[in-house]
Amino acid sequence: MKMKIKLNSEFKFLLYAHLVLAIFLIYELFDLITLLYDDSYRYAFLPNELNNENYIQQQPQLIPKIIHQTYKTTDIPEHWKDGQKNCQILNPDYKYILWTDEMARDFIAEQYPWFLKTFDSYPFPIERADAIRYFILYHFGGIYIDLDDSCQRNLDPLLTVPAFVRKTLPTGISNDLLGSAINQLEKYQRNWLVPYITIMFSTGPLFLSVVWKQYIRWGNPPSGIVRILMPDDYKNASNAFFKITKGSSWHEDDAAVLLLMAKHIVLSVIFCTLLGIAIIASEYFFIVWFHKHFSPKIVKLSRSLKNYLLEFTPLRTRTDYTLLNGDYRNRIPRKARKDSNLPVAISVDLEKNVTALDSIDES
């Protein structure tokens, strides 16, 4: 026995609306969705490239020996000063530049005035700090290092590739180095309401990860492959390049909530599922209520509007719809002969019809 399930109009509308919304979101967030497939290991530094002195000395230097760091002023917090000194001590032949907020804005205004409006419009200072690193690396080359990254060894092995970034968990890359990133900054300048997401996706690691995915998808020449510094080489192993100190000073309360959700992923999934069901149910009941109270009025209004427009429509362009509205008597074609131009009234009463026909014949 086959059962037919009949969907009411409200549920159909809700279903189609969410289908359109899902297609739109997939289109808009496609690159972000691709981050779920983590293939960064394909571009990782090999142990030989980082730890074999003979191999390193035979490779050409592709990245200039410049270290860039950023802060609001030259007076950086005390807990970051040791890390700053370590990077200079372990790399004595590198040029060191600390970019302050004032220096950063002056640089953008002078070298990239087309971006100044976007640069000034960022709602969070950390977004400007993120953006400036892409421009200075594009302009000068070198290595950008966060102040909370303390150098633990010489950086020369990293200079033998065209560009590199570090791997971040659970997926994606962090915003240390990528010259082509500045071409996309204006496109991703959006307010996502939640500060943490706005920062991460407009200029931060999510932005860089998406641009990197696009760079890979559209094909990159072998000479322009962006290499990945994996977590062990970055901070975990005994011969890692960096040690992480206290940082992330830009995090706000919303970041704490998101990080808490990440620690309790199962509960977060259950909560988000229940929240989604509650939202869909609320939408359904709203549509039912709206349909019950306003649909008749909307239908009546649309009919009145259609009839009103028909009054100003020439007869030739009108459809047969006008003949269904009781206006058919005025639409009967008239001939020149008077006797053939008389309308015939047909009554339901057969005797009256016969009488009417007899009167016509006698005339």
- Same domain for 106 and 220, yes or no, is yes
State whether residue 353 is helix, strand or coil. Answer: helix
- Same domain for 192 and 313, yes or no, is no
- Same domain for 47 and 103, yes or no, is yes
Q: Which residues contact 80 (CB under 8 A, 6 or more apart)?
A: 147, 148, 245, 247
- Same domain for 209 and 64, yes or no, is yes
Q: Which of 206, 221, 250 is the last residue of a domain?
A: 250
Domain, as residue range, for 160 = 30-250
Whether 349 maps to a domain, the answer reads no
Domain count across the chain: 2
Has residue 249 got a pLDDT over 60?
no
Domain holding 137: CATH number? 3.90.550
- Same domain for 229 and 301, yes or no, is no
- Same domain for 293 and 177, yes or no, is no
Whether 236 maps to a domain, the answer reads yes
- Same domain for 39 and 127, yes or no, is yes
Q: Would you state the pLDDT for residue 183?
A: 42
- Same domain for 97 and 208, yes or no, is yes
The percent of residues in the chain predicted with pLDDT above 90, rounded, is 17
Query: Looking at this protein, which amino acid is placed at residue 251?
Result: H
- Per-residue pLDDT of 278-317, as tens digits, reads 887 887 788 778 777 777 777 777 777 777 777 666 555 5
Q: Which residues contact 313 (CB under 8 A, 6 or more apart)?
A: none
Whether 360 maps to a domain, the answer reads no
CA 30, 35, 38, 41 torsion-angle sign: positive
Has residue 254 got a pLDDT over 50?
no
Beta strands of the chain (E only): which ranges?
Answer: 66-70, 95-99, 143-144, 149-151, 163-166, 226-229, 242-244
- Per-residue pLDDT of 155-179, as tens digits, reads 999 988 888 888 766 555 555 444 3
Tell me if the pTM is above 0.85. no
- Same domain for 62 and 93, yes or no, is yes
Q: Would you state the pLDDT for residue 339?
A: 53
- Same domain for 202 and 311, yes or no, is no
Among 293, 281, 216, smallest CA distance to 40 is for: 216
In angstroms, rounded to a whole number, what is the distance separating the alpha carbons of residues 77 and 107? 24
More confident position, 124 or 261:
124
Q: Would you state the pLDDT for residue 76?
A: 92
